[in-house]
Amino acid sequence: MRSLFASALAMTASAGAFVAISDVMPGAAAFAQQPGDVIGRIVVENNQRIEARTVLSYLLVQPGDPYDPERLDLSLKALFATGLFADVRFDQRGDDLVVRVIENPIINQVLFEGNNAVTTERLEEETEAEPRATFTRSRVEQDVQRILEVYRRAGRFAATVSPQYKPLPQNRADLIFVIEEGPKTGIQSINFLGNEEFSDSRLRREIATRQSRWWRFFERRDNYNPGQVEYDRDLLRQFYMNEGYADFRTVSAVAELTPDRKDFYLTFQISEGEKYNFGQISVETELEKLSGERLALVLPMQEGDLFRSQLIEDAIDTITFAAGTAGYANVVVQPVETRDSEGRTIDIQFEVDEGPRVYIERINIAGNTETLDRVIRREIQVAEGDAYNQVLLDSARSRIRALGFFDPDTVEITDEPGSADDRSVVTVNVEEAPTGELSFSAGFSSADAFLFSAGYTERNFRGRGQFLSARIQTTSRQQDIEFRFTEPKFRDRNLAVGADLFLTQSDFFREAGFENSVVGATGRVFFPLSNTDNLGLRYSLRNDNLQLDPAFTDCTTSAFFRSSLCDQQGDRITSSIGYTLALNRTNDYIEPTRGYDLSLSQDFAGVGGDVEYLRTEVRGIVYRGLWPDIVASAAIEAGYIESLSDESIRINNRFFKGGTSFRGFDTAGLGPREVEYFLRRNRSLSTPASLRPRPPFQS
């Protein structure tokens, strides 16, 4: 490092070089002073970018003052402390005080050479030097240490960093960090001393660090990292505390280089202590709406259970949530432990304090570049001036994530102290996610043969949270034109209003012996019944034109076995009203791990029109978390439709599944069938000799 600055001593200030700052600053004593000398003028020389008056502003002497060595020395130190100058010297020229400065150069660019294991972007994030910043020795030295720390965390303790300085015209310079990464330093072995209840192999599974092995070529945790070792100590403590060892402690964690200096031996010395059980569990509180006895009933542990520290944290969360739902938003829960070393039990008393009353002074929205503030604010169930309620803010975070407008991992709600002790400023941080989609697709499948589609979807139209969709699609069986629009908060109320326009041409001649053309519109209204339950109402008006395939269904005959489907041909107008009741009892709208989601839908056709029926559908799905990141789910779907007139249910309104809607069956492979009876040769109405089912919904 010293060679970097020593090499610049031979350069002039006009060439953009600088002089190293020596440990002793002699500039203040570089002139001869006589008793009674007075400063006539102060002259600044050699300054290029920095104005003379800026230099003078840091001096503690002025024209007319005597030459005071102490004040001149303090002035010299003040100029060096600015970081703007590589060298400063005071001289006396007659009555003038001459201040000669050499300015630190401006960094033109920062370059990294030799880095392969660590990306340049990562190094730029860690270092403070940047283009157009002032070049200083201390900053460079600090950046060198930061780069070395990055390589230590990456397991490369042999890495070296050499900064180089390239002068440029106009007192600029390129700063180059030349890096020799060296070999990766792994973990040869991980050993434990003092463990009696658990083996070394069992404890190795509980820590983050791994032993270096040839098959772990994708593993990053098999490098020695002091920060990770500290994390391992905490993981060991958590493991033992959750196994009942309340007195556990890690005595030391020592890393030693192997003889070839390529790897480390890592040794943890631990003290397990004795195993404890829970003793008496109680809750002490003065909350009016909640008693200690009632709160104790919902705690996740009981007397005699194995002591686990995680259960104490879970109990605090349970009490906090229970108090929050009762209106106590700022309760403070303090567990007090009383140990019985002889009986090996720990009594826990949870002391619940209501805490200070805190009110929301202001709600800030940050990070939304497209979405309007009011779209986010209307998902927050508290407002400025309301009492701070953590339960409602947690609910608001889930509701904002459920909008789908933002990256779910970036949605955070934080709070900071306000202008007074009883005031809090709440900030909602979001990061916009893509919400629009323009799609063109073409494909082929065994179910639908060819497929062509073009569509546009915007889930956050104009940043107002509105949903807009337009789609045109054609397959070998069906052609669709669809337009949908939804205003989720009509007039900023908890009321969603939407409209759909659709035109559909379905050709099921081959599968079911009919084709159907539909043109219609639907109006929708949707509003919440509670935080988890919603009700949707709708009205639909459509015209269906049903045509049967004469190759399968002969409607010209007048025989008694003439198909009942023949009477369904032609146009029918369907005017229907319906509702959907949705019950969401999941713990998260986006990534549920427990709970269920249930919906019930009914449509009544007969409000005018030519068709009368009652259609009922039920859908449900249950979630259950098995292990971290593994969730099991089970879904069910059922439907029933009943005619309310003498006419049977039209074929296009019936339920039939198959293809993509029910795996393992062809399209329309599940559903009711009409069968044709082949009678005896005398054509009597006796018992049929045989039955032969036709394709679904055909005669």
Query: How much is the average pLDDT of 83-108?
Result: 85
**At CA 509, angle to CA 504 and CA 510, rounded to 5?**
125
pLDDT in tens, 162-175: 888 888 887 888 88
CA angle (610 as vertex; 607, 614 as ends), nearest 5: 55
More confident residue, 426 or 225: 426
Mean pLDDT over 643-670 rounds to 72
Give the pTM.
Answer: 0.48
List every span in the chain annotated with CATH 2.40.160.50.
477-657
Look at residue 690 and tell me whether its pLDDT is greater than 60.
no
CA–CA gap between residue 84 and residue 26 (Å, rounded):
18
H helix intervals, 501-548: 509-512
Is pLDDT larger for residue 143 or for residue 507? 143
- Is pLDDT at 681 greater than 70 in this prediction? no
The domain 277-353: what is its CATH number? 3.10.20.310
Q: Tell me, what's the pLDDT at 14?
A: 31
> What is the CATH code for 359-428?
3.10.20.310
Among 47-51, 54-58, 119-123, 566-570, which stretch is predicted with the lowest mean pLDDT? 566-570
The CATH class for the domain spanning 186-271 reads alpha beta
Q: Which pLDDT value is given to residue 20?
A: 33
461: which strand partners?
Answer: 466
CA–CA distance, 290 with 285 (Å, rounded to integer): 8
What pLDDT does 67 receive? 84
**Angle at CA 668, nearest 5°, toward 666 and 674?**
125
- Partner residues linked to 90 by β-bridges: 99
Mean pLDDT of 427-445: 87
What is the percent of the chain where pLDDT is above 70? 83
| Cα–Cα dist 207/441, whole Å | 48
Question: DSSP string of 570-596?
Answer: EEEEEEEEEEEEEEE--S-SSS--EEE
What does the pLDDT look like over 584-621, one tens digit per residue? 888 877 778 888 999 999 999 988 888 899 999 999 99
**For position 598, what pLDDT does the model report?**
93
Q: How many helices (H) and strands (E) does the chain have?
A: 12, 28
Do β-strands 412-417 and 570-584 pair in parallel, antiparallel, or remain unpaired? unpaired
Pick the CATH number of 477-657 from 2.40.160.50, 2.60.40.4070, 3.65.10.10, 3.40.50.300: 2.40.160.50
CA distance readout (Å), 80 to 23, 27, 138, 333, 341: 12, 11, 12, 52, 62
Q: Which CATH number fits domain 106-180: 3.90.1200.10, 3.10.20.310, 3.40.640.10, 3.40.50.11540?
A: 3.10.20.310
**Residue 30's pLDDT is what?**
46
Name 482's Cβ contacts closer than 8 Å, sequence gap at least 6.
469, 470, 471, 472, 500, 501, 502, 503
- Residue 193 φ/ψ, nearest 5 degrees: -120, 135
Q: CATH 3.10.20.310 region(s) of the chain?
A: 19-103, 106-180, 186-271, 277-353, 359-428
Q: Which of 205-219, 253-267, 514-528 reaches the highest mean pLDDT?
A: 514-528
Query: What pLDDT is recorded for position 659?
Result: 61
- pLDDT mean over 352-357: 79
With a cut of 70, say whether residue 686 has pLDDT above it. no
Residue 239: predicted pLDDT: 93
pLDDT bin (cut points 50, 70, 90) of residue 22 is very low
pLDDT at 683 over 70: no
Higher pLDDT, 511 or 636: 636
| pLDDT higher than 80, residue 580 | yes
Pick the range with the lowest mean pLDDT from 70-79, 239-248, 266-275.
Answer: 70-79
**pLDDT at position 65:** 86
**Least reliable range by pLDDT among 118-122, 437-441, 544-548:** 544-548
Cα 156 → chain centroid:
31
Look at residue 191 and tell me whether its pLDDT is greater than 90: yes
**Topology adopted by domain 19-103:** Ubiquitin-like (UB roll) (3.10.20)
Identify the pLDDT of residue 357: 74
